[in-house]
Amino acid sequence: MNFKTLPMEERKRIALVAHDNKKSDLLEWVKFNKGRLIDHEIYATGTTGKLIEEQLGIPINRLETGPLGGDQQLGAKISLGEIEFMVFFWDPLEPMPHDPDVKALLRIAVVWNIPIACNRASADFMFSSHLMREKYDRRLPDYDTYKNRVISTGPAEE
């Protein structure tokens, strides 16, 4: 398989997402990291974005709330290269009616090889990395071959 690199600049485009039971944890993390978060472009799903804006005054690119399509909007932005890092505090103990959307979002983040922090410890380790403050070439499979493949639809009609 061929690979290519996608450059990430010093200013990262970061998605912040949290399930209801994890919103307070994410807000504490955001408050602690406010000084460094303002150096990046922040995206968030509806309710989480609103809480961050209200409490911290940080400008947020707000999408729909997760169950109403926000998770899918984030996935689309990841696949378009518009989001390069995700902090997603999800609740593994609470059943979610939009669980397929959550799984799809996590899957697309892995497909496009973006860093994903799913809890406070991973967010702390990743966000404190020197790579958050410098350019980074993200390596991923070259999906052009897959996208340009010829698909046989059966014998041609005469």
pLDDT tens-digit profile of 27-66?
Answer: 999 999 999 999 999 999 998 999 999 888 888 999 998 8
Q: Is 65 helix (H, G, I), strand (E, B) or coil?
A: coil
Cite the active site residues.
Answer: 71
pLDDT at 98: 65
Angle at 36 between CA 102 and CA 43, to 5 degrees: 30
Pick out the chain residues at pLDDT < 70.
96-98, 154, 156-158
**Is-contact 17 74, C-beta < 8 A?**
yes
pTM over 0.85: yes
pLDDT at 154: 67
pLDDT at 60: 92
Where does residue 149 rank: exposed (0-12), middle (13-18), buried (19+ CB within 10 A)?
A: exposed
pLDDT at 101: 79
Helix (H) / strand (E) containing 144: helix 144-147
